[in-house]
Amino acid sequence: MGVFAALGTALCWAIAARLFSGIGNAFSPLTMNFWKGLISIALLSVVLIAVQPALFSTNAVIWLLVSGFIGIGIGDTCFFKALQSIGDSQAVLVAETLAPLFTALFAMAFIGEWITWQQWIGVAVVLFSVDMVIKARKRSATHVLATSGYLYGVGAALCQAVGAVVSRDILGSGDVDAASAAFLRLVGGMVFVVPFIAVTKTRWLPVITEGKRVWPAFVVATLLGTTAAIYLQMFAFAYAKAAVVQTLIATSALMSLGVAFVLGEKATKATLLWSVIALVGVGILVSFGDNTIH
Reported pTM: 0.86
Which of the four pLDDT bands, split at 50, 70 and 90, describes residue 290? Answer: low
Please indicate whether residue 99 or residue 53 has the higher confidence score (pLDDT): 99
pLDDT digits (tens, 9 = 90+) for 269-288: 888 888 888 888 888 877 77
pLDDT digits (tens, 9 = 90+) for 199-245: 988 888 888 766 578 888 899 999 999 999 999 999 999 999 999 99
In Å, the largest CA–CA distance within the chain is 55
8 Å CB contact between 246 and 106: no
In-domain check, residue 292:
no
pLDDT digits (tens, 9 = 90+) for 13-42: 888 877 877 776 788 888 888 999 999 999
Question: Is pLDDT of 291 > 50?
Answer: no
Mean pLDDT along residues 106-125: 89
Three-state SS for 39?
A: helix
Give the dihedral of Cα atoms 188, 123, 96, 152; nearest 10 deg.
80
In-domain check, residue 39:
yes
Residue 66's pLDDT is: 95
Smallest Cα–Cα separation from 94: which of 136, 143, 144, 134?
Answer: 134
Number of domains in the chain: 1
Residue 142's pLDDT is: 45
Residue 74's pLDDT is: 93
Other CB atoms within 10 A of residue 160 CB: 27
Residue 211's pLDDT is: 58
Mean pLDDT along residues 112-135: 86
Looking at the chain, the whole-number percentage of residues with pLDDT higher than 90 is 38
| Mean of all residue pLDDT scores within the chain | 85
Looking at the chain, the whole-number percentage of residues with pLDDT higher than 70 is 91
Three-state SS for 129?
A: helix
In-domain check, residue 49:
yes
In-domain check, residue 66:
yes
In-domain check, residue 254:
yes
- Among 140-154, 158-172, 218-232, which is the least confidently predicted range? 140-154
In-domain check, residue 293:
no
d(CA 55, CA 141): 50
Residue 254's pLDDT is: 82
Give Cα separations from 162 to 28, 69, 73 (angstroms).
24, 10, 12
Domain hosting 259: range is 2-287
Mean pLDDT along residues 169-175: 85
Residues 6+ apart with CB under 8 A from 114: 107, 108
Residue 53's pLDDT is: 66
8 Å CB contact between 234 and 183: no
8 Å CB contact between 128 and 47: no
In-domain check, residue 294:
no
Residue 167's pLDDT is: 93
